[in-house]
């Protein structure tokens, strides 16, 4: 049974998570502070952790850094305030697996759990890779691993080596895809360069949580964002 730890100083939030996660068949641990959460993590080594960002005492970003120093494989999902772009970006820079906004809705929770379960099957710390999908008439490129500020040139070169113009390119973000602040800036620049060559871009299989982040930084003005469906 997969173990999940939820860290939040608000009892109603913990009760909501416990209700939903127990119904999904997870073994659930809860903590009302960052310090308590770290103690539980060391005792039980949960595979998935949800932690609120803003808490008295040890905040969620400190919790994230501490857990990452102990375990690179755990999936850590941070809970941010609605529209708190800066905190979400900071968490992604610290190698959070995902993030969700408060108030937490069922769609966002399901999407985060779906990605976490898939990412658990992948090697920790995957480097960014891009590969052309074969067997389809569309120009589809699969994006895997962590996309950082060092990767935009690789992505652009892989796409444009196909000598395409006036076409649509689909960038399919698989379960292992993640991105940090510099990566988002680089992705924006890459899409702008492609548009300069009359290449339209579709971002496919974007989790609803990343979709919200991408829209907050204006990516929906440059590319067609298509959210992933959560499997039943």
Q: Mean pLDDT, the chain, as a whole number?
A: 91
Check pLDDT > 80 for residue 122: no
Same domain, 114 and 10: yes
Answer whether residue 124 is part of any domain.
no
Structural domain containing residue 101: 3-119
Same domain, 39 and 100: yes
Check pLDDT > 80 for residue 212: yes
Answer whether residue 232 is part of any domain.
no
Same domain, 24 and 79: yes
Same domain, 85 and 148: no
Check pLDDT > 60 for residue 79: yes
pTM metric for this prediction: 0.87
Alpha carbon of residue 56 to chain centroid: 25
Same domain, 61 and 13: yes
Same domain, 42 and 72: yes
Which one of 95, 119, 143 terminates a domain?
A: 119
Structure tokens at 46: 């949960």
Answer whether residue 133 is part of any domain.
yes
Which one of 119, 154, 179 terminates a domain?
A: 119
Query: Could you give the number of structural domains in the chain?
Result: 2
pLDDT at residue 105, rounded to an integer? 85
pLDDT at residue 138, rounded to an integer? 87
State the pairing for strand pair 146-147/167-173: unpaired
**82 pLDDT band (50/70/90 cuts)?**
low
The CATH number of the domain holding residue 201 is 3.30.750.24
Kindly report, residue by residue over 4-61, the tens digit of the pLDDT: 999 999 999 999 999 999 999 999 999 999 999 999 999 999 999 999 999 999 999 9
Check pLDDT > 70 for residue 83: no
pLDDT at residue 87, rounded to an integer? 85
Nearest to 80 by CA among 51, 43, 48, 106: 51
């Amino acid at each position: 049974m997969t173990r999940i730890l939820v860290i939040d100083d608000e009892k109603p939030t913990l009760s909501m998570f416990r209700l939903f996660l127990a119904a999904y068949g997870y073994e659930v641990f809860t903590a009302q502070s960052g310090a308590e959460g770290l103690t539980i993590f060391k005792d039980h080594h949960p595979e998935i952790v949800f932690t609120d960002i803003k808490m008295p005492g040890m905040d969620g970003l400190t919790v994230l850094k501490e857990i990452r120093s102990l375990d690179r494989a755990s999936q850590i999902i941070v809970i941010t305030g609605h529209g708190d772009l800066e905190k979400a970006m900071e968490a992604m820079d610290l190698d959070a697996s995902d993030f969700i906004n408060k108030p937490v809705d069922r769609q966002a929770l399901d999407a985060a759990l779906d990605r976490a379960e898939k990412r658990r099957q992948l090697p920790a710390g995957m480097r960014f890779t891009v590969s052309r999908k074969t067997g389809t008439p569309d120009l589809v490129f699969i994006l895997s691993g962590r996309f950082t500020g060092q990767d935009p040139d690789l992505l652009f070169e892989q796409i444009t080596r196909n000598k395409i113009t006036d076409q649509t390119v689909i960038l399919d973000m698989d379960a292992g895809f993640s991105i940090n602040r510099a990566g988002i800036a680089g992705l924006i620049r890459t899409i702008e360069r492609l548009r300069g060559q009359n290449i339209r871009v579709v971002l496919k299989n974007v989790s609803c949580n990343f979709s919200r982040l991408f829209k907050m930084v204006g990516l929906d003005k440059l590319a067609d964002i298509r959210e992933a469906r959560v499997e039943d």
